[in-house]
Amino acid sequence: MDVNAAVAAAAAIAGVATGVIAMLAFRWSERDQKRPTRTSLHTDPVLPPGVDTVLSVLRSSAVVLDEADAVVKASSAAYALGLVRGGKLAVEPMLQMTRDTRRDGEIRQVELDLPRRGTGRGEALAVSARVAPLGSRLVLLLVEDLTEARRIEAVRRDFVANVSHELKTPVGALSLLSEAVMDASDDPEAVQRFAGRMQIEATRLTNLVQELIDLSRVQNDDPLEDAEPVRVDELVAEAVDRCRHQAGTKQITMAAGGTADLHVWGNRGQLAAALGNLVENAVNYSPARTRVGIAARRVSAPGGDMIELAVTDQGIGISEKDKERVFERFYRVDPARSRATGGTGLGLAIVKHVVASHGGEVTVWSAEGQGSTFTLRLPEAAAARDRTGQHPDLDEEAGTTDSSPYEPLPAPEVLP
C-alpha cells in the first residue's frame, strides 16, 4: 500500500508541475506577442483616411513615400512609366525632390524628360512632377505624362508655320508678277506671259485654301451623321472622270477592275474626295504612257467584311523613310515635282482623316522606281447587302468577279 501511495503521489506532483509549466508558457507567449518586435517597429505607415481612395481616381501617376524613401503606395500608371522599381522610386531627380520636400515641407514642381522604358530608341517621355508633404511622415509625388500634349503642340506649331509658308509663296509670287505686268505695260507679249503665270499662282492659292477648308471639315464633322450606303462603282467612276483630262495629257491608261456591286457606309462626298485624291496623286506622279489602276474587292475581317480599294501606279515610288511620313500635312516626297504639279501636300492627310473617321484605314506599298499602291479599307455597308439578299462572291446568280463591267487590273509593271 505504501508503494502504491508513493507512486500516486509522484504522479500527482508530476501532473501539477506540467500544468504549471504549460500555464507559464502560455502567459509568456501572450506577453511576447504583445511586446513590440523589430519587424513591427518598421511596418509601413498607414495612409491618412481617404487618401487611398483619392489616389485611385487620379489620372496622374501617384507615388507615396515614407521617411526612409520606401514606396508605401504607387498607382499602376507609376509602374507602367517605370517610376517605381523594386519598391523604390527609380528616378533620381524625383527622389531628391521628395527628400527636399520632406526636409522643409515646401511643394515643388519640375518638368523632366525620361528615357522611354523598354525601348532602345532615343525617344523620351515628357513628364511634369509635383511633390507635396502628406502628413508628418509621408510625401506624395504626382507625375503627369505630357508626351502626347507636347506632340500635339508641335504638330499645331508646324501646321501654322507650314500654312503661313504655303500661303506666303503664291501671294508673294502674285505680288511680284503684278509689278512685272505694270512695268511691262507697253509689251503685250510680256504682259500675256506674266498674266499666265499669275493664273497659275492664283489657281495654286485657290487649291490650297480649298484643301485647308476640306481638311478642317473632315476633322470637325462627323461623317456618319449623314451616312448612307455608297456604291463603290460610282466612287471609282467619279475618281476616273476627275483625272481623265490629266491622264489623257500624259497618255496614261486608266483601268478599273475588281468585284462589282460593292457598297460602303459613309459620307459620299468625303469618300469620293479621298479616292479622287489617291487617283490624282497616282496620275501626277506617274511618267507618261504608263498605267494607273483602281481595284475593289471584299475581304473578311473579325468585325465584319471590309471593302478594299487599291490605287496602283507605275510612278517614281516612295522610299522607306518617306513612307512613314507621306500622310503628314504638307509633307512632300518630291517637293520639286509637287511645285510643278501644283500639289499642296494636304491630299494624303485628307485621305487619312476621311478613312479614319469612317472606321477604316489606309496603307501604302511602294518601291522606288516600281510604283506605289495605296489601299483603302472601309467597312462594308451590311444593310445594303442584306437588302439584296445576295453575296456576289458566293451566289452564282449574282455573278462573280469575271462578270465585272471593268477590265481586270493588271499586275504593276514598268511599261516601255
Question: pLDDT tens across 329-373, in order?
Answer: 777 666 555 555 555 677 788 888 889 888 899 999 988 888 899
Mean pLDDT over 36-43 rounds to 36
Q: What is the pLDDT of residue 87?
A: 81
CA 303 remoteness from chain centre:
20
pLDDT at 15 over 80: no
Mean local confidence (pLDDT), 385-410: 36
Looking at the predicted structure, is the pLDDT value of residue 396 above 50?
A: no
pTM above 0.75, yes or no: no
Share of the chain above pLDDT 70, in %: 71
Q: What is the 3-state secondary structure (H, E, C) of the chain?
A: CHHHHHHHHHHHHHHHHHHHHHHHHHHHHHHHHHCCCCCHHHCCCCCCCCHHHHHHHCCCEEEEECCCCEEEEECHHHHHCCCEECCEECCHHHHHHHHHHHHHCCCEEEEEEEECCCCCCCCEEEEEEEEEEECCCEEEEEEEECHHHHHHHHHHHHHHHHHHHHHHHHHHHHHHHHHHHHHCCCCHHHHHHHHHHHHHHHHHHHHHHHHHHHHHHHHHCCCCCCCEEEEHHHHHHHHHHHHHHHHHHCCCEEEEEECCCCEEEECHHHHHHHHHHHHHHHHHCCCCCCEEEEEEEEECCCCCCEEEEEEECCCCCCCHHHHCCCCCCCCCCCHHHHHHHCCCCCHHHHHHHHHHHCCCEEEEEEECCCEEEEEEEEEECHHHHHHHCCCCCCCHHHCCHHHCCCCCCCCCCCCC
Exposed / middle / buried, residue 66 (Cβ in 10 Å: 0-12, 13-18, 19+): middle
Cell of 327: 500622310
273-277, 318-322, 347-351, 411-415: least confident range: 411-415
Q: What does the longest C-alpha to C-alpha distance in the chain come to?
A: 158
What end-to-end distance do the CA atoms of the chain give, in Å?
133
Task: Evaluate if residue 22 carries a pLDDT over 60.
Answer: no
Mean pLDDT throughout 370-388? 74
Name which of 9-18, 172-181, 223-232 the model is least confident about: 9-18
List, for residues 60-77, the tens digit of each pLDDT value.
Answer: 888 999 888 888 888 888
251 band by pLDDT with thresholds 50, 70 and 90: very high
Q: What mean pLDDT is predicted for residues 314-336?
A: 76
Query: Is 57 or 72 the better-scoring residue by pLDDT?
Result: 72
Sign of CA dihedral 236, 237, 238, 240: positive
32 confidence band (pLDDT: 50, 70, 90): very low
pLDDT of residue 275: 93
Band of residue 264 on the pLDDT scale cut at 50, 70, 90: very high
Structural domains for the chain? 51-145 (3.30.450.20), 147-220 (1.10.287.130), 224-416 (3.30.565.10)
pLDDT at 393 over 50: no
**pLDDT value, residue 386:** 46
Q: What is the pLDDT of residue 131?
A: 92
pLDDT exceeds 60 at position 92: yes
